[in-house]
Amino acid sequence: MKRLVKFLIAAAVFAGVAVSDSTSFTIHVAGDSTVQTYKDSAYPQTGWGQVLGYFFDGARVKVNNAALGGRSSRNFIEEGRLDGILKAAQKGDYLFVQFGHNDRDYSKEARYVPPEDFPGYIQKFVDEGKKKGVNVILVSPMNLNGSRNVFSTGANNYDARGMMQKIATNSKIPFVDLNMKAYNLYNTTYKNIPDYVTRYLYKKLEKGEYPNYPDGVNDGTTHFQEMGSMGHAQLICEELEDNLKNNANLSDEAKAALTTLVSTIKKRYTITVKTNLSNYSGLITQTQYFPAGSPMTLRVTPKSETFEKWVDDDCNELSTKQIYYGFKTKARDITYTAMFKGGSACQKINHGEEGQGGDGPTSSSSGGTGSSASIDTSLCFTGVADTLWRSPIDMSRPEVSDGSTDTDHTGYTGVGFYNLTNASTSKAVYNITSDQSASNARVMIRYAFDDTANRDMKITIDKGTYDVAFPPTGSVDALDFQVMIASTTEKGGPNIDMIAFDIKGVYRTGCKPAKVVNDTQDTSLAIAKPVREMKVQPAATKTFNALGRKMPASAESRRNQPAGRYYSR
């Protein structure tokens, strides 16, 4: 039988409007000294909760780091700190919980938790969070000493990691296994770099390296420097993304919440660090994957080599100090080089243009998904668009995807349509370019699917994530941005055929803007057939057609619109 395709009109604002409160939330963090926020006088000592915010879209996400040194799951609750978090939390917020280090410290009665009692305290975080409508995520204790410690093996009968994992499994909530993630990193990437973990990640500092520790400090097994905590925050993001993709145990509610959370993780760029020597034998900062604007430290500890300066990939001198810290990363993949006496001369390295940086989200893994100037030209719209939808965009082949490009239904436009995989984690990401950066716009998505129930979707347009049914207004301030369509249920999504914007000059990156019929700026285009006037052929399968429901971006846009039902905030 013939199926009808509906137009989804989403209100999208290209500049100057804050993201709706309905898409904003707070990440609350409960933990100990490895997580807490430190004063400047303690720098470079840093907890991962202190830097977690760098990895999320700041326009939508706030971080309330309530972690405090010396706390176990028991005394954190007994001191009323969990109650304090829940009092400040709103429904839809998130609570990250990491305990275990102090819980096993039997030398301090006030915080010691017998192993048989530990699951009960962790479960209380889960249960109390659920009562408040807060999404709880358990994080296994950070790996200390770079070895398989008690959190992994259950030595001394205190397998905090294993107990937390079991609670997460039984509660059907995400489990971020930071312990094993860090252990694997230490014993693969950093395995053949002696002292790198203790000297560059943990807080083992030599005399004179940092002003706050003129005599040095030997804390190379417990607390972390800024780069150590930044690296662990990056691992947490990877674990969140992996949970969304591979954790089939999550409840539908937890999966939907995790989908929202992951959609706010910012794009990470590859930060490569090297020397101009072919046989450098000392320590040097390893490659990192951080968002734009993150704090970065470049560091070398030579054995016999003579260090001269740090340069970027344009050969600009950055610093003559062996430890160069406090600068912010750029919104592009970048290479930094430690220049040593007797090494090769600096040679510029070709690189892409710096992006907008800021707080734009991505759901990609390390390195993110950058926009590309090359595209299959068959995807580019070459016809003439009507004046209602001036920027039609073929959606049949995403840049990043979970699904397939199909042509087995009638009435589609372009070269086909995109069939999302039937899974709650399926998504399609498109690189889009806009020639306008300060205009109101409406977005149309043309789709079809054969079912009787709705398929709720999350639509991300640069900085704004919208519910498919009632999309809020958001902020899009970059000329190049991404559109992502993500499933939230196991049925996946509809077959995506096309989207269109009601302003000129929005198109797949690498294509050219569509010509518009009867455009006052191009009167030679008065001939073509409008996009919406499609001939639909009867078929026994799903058929693409045009039927409208409109949601204007503002009251002014209601003028001269066909009669119908309008939704507004």
What are the domain boundaries of the chain?
A: 7-15+373-558, 31-263, 268-340
Q: What is the pLDDT of residue 531?
A: 31
In this structure, is the dihedral angle defined by the CA atoms of residues 16, 20, 26 and 27, taken in order, positive or negative? negative
Q: What is the pLDDT of residue 321?
A: 97
DSSP state, 54? G
Nearest to 420 by CA among 395, 385, 393, 454: 395
Nearest to 521 by CA among 503, 544, 494, 500: 503
Two tokens at 146? Answer: 């770079």
CATH number for the domain running over 7-15+373-558 = 2.60.120.260
Q: What is the pLDDT of residue 470?
A: 32
In this structure, is the dihedral angle defined by the CA atoms of residues 392, 398, 400 and 405, taken in order, positive or negative? positive
Q: What is the pLDDT of residue 546?
A: 32
Q: Within a 10 A sphere around the Cβ of 527, how many other Cβ atoms?
A: 8
CATH class of 31-263: alpha beta
The Cα 223–Cα 198 span in angstroms is 10
The Cα 80–Cα 515 span in angstroms is 63
Q: Which residues of the chain have pLDDT under 50?
A: 1-22, 146-151, 153-155, 357-373, 438-439, 470-479, 521-569
Q: What is the pLDDT of residue 367?
A: 36
The Cα 351–Cα 313 span in angstroms is 8
User: Residue 44, preceding bond cis, omega within 30 degrees?
Assistant: yes
- Residue 126 · residue 119 · CB < 8 Å: no
Q: What is the pLDDT of residue 40?
A: 94
Two tokens at 214? Answer: 């003129």
